[in-house]
Amino acid sequence: MTVEEQFKQIGGEFLLPFNIFRERLKKVKVFLFDWDCVFNDGIKSGAGGSPFSEADSMGINLLRFGYYLTHSKLPHTGIITGENNGPAFYLAKREHFDTVHFKFKHKVDALEHLAKHYNVSAEEVAFVFDDVLDVALAKEVALRLMVRRDSSPLFEEYTRSKGICDYIAGNAGKDHAVREVCELMIGAAYDYDKVVDSRVAFAEDYQSYLSERSEVKTSFFKNEGGDVVELPFESLS
């Protein structure tokens, strides 16, 4: 069974022909993720942030490693969220993501900041998203992967009709949609078996990847009235 067939079998839907999806993905150097309803179901209590799963964390780790094996360098990995999300800050720091942009209600502003300060081109970005807040950013980037939510069929149809989405996940955020889209991207662009075999064996190339990853210092950027301010991890809540 092909990669395309496997993901269709679990309910994933390609809105681009798979060969075009794969070609766009091969040019991607930046992986960006929304947080609420992407890593979780989006439910919150008071000011508390919404959580993440280790299955999704492993998916991102393997995706970054797959990129590393192919390109001999790390991709840029980041989270862009409209809120304060303590679990997002924790995951990004633990896994040595490059950036977290938070309190960005107009998320394309975060993309513009990335482009200016990290030499990131929109044509090199894959973005995982789920809702209206994400559309402005999704319109700009090369590859758009949307997390399924059956309760918003009109929004799903909107993304289809406007050409904003390239793949709709078979799973919802609470059911490990991040792991799904990471496995899809690994299978489409990299050698999945080699990625997993090297991780299982804790091979030299995986150790080299971990060593380089550990050198990444996560930068946290907050939108404060239109100004982008970098904050230390210790000040985040």
SS (H, E, C) the chain: CCHHHHHHHCCCEECCCHHHHHHHHHCCCEEEECCCCCCCCCCCCCCCCCCCCHHHHHHHHHHHHHHHHHHCCCCEEEEEECCCCHHHHHHHHHCCCCEEEECCCCCHHHHHHHHHHHCCCHHHEEEEECCHHHHHHHCCCCEEEECCCCCCHHHHHHHHHCCCCCEECCCCHHHCHHHHHHHHHHHHHCCHHHHHHHHHHCCHHHHHHHHHHHCCCCEEEEEECCEEEEECHHHCC
Q: In 3D, which of 74, 20, 9, 85 has the Cα closest to residue 50?
A: 85
Say if residue 228's pLDDT is above 90.
Answer: yes
Taking residues 13-32, report their average pLDDT.
97
Higher confidence at residue 85 or residue 95? 95
CA 226 to chain centre: 24
Taking residues 96-114, report their average pLDDT.
96
Higher confidence at residue 184 or residue 50? 184
**Class of the 3-216 domain?**
alpha beta
CA 203 to chain centre: 25
Q: Where are the domains of the chain?
A: 3-216
The C-alpha atoms of residue 35 and residue 48 are separated, in whole angstroms, by 13
Query: What pTM value is reported for the model?
Result: 0.97
pLDDT band at 44 (very low <50, low <70, confident <90, very high): confident
The C-alpha atoms of residue 61 and residue 184 are separated, in whole angstroms, by 14
Taking residues 58-68, report their average pLDDT.
98
The C-alpha atoms of residue 44 and residue 65 are separated, in whole angstroms, by 32
- Residue-wise pLDDT tens digits, 156-196: 999 999 999 999 999 999 999 999 999 999 999 999 999 99
Say if residue 237's pLDDT is above 70.
Answer: no
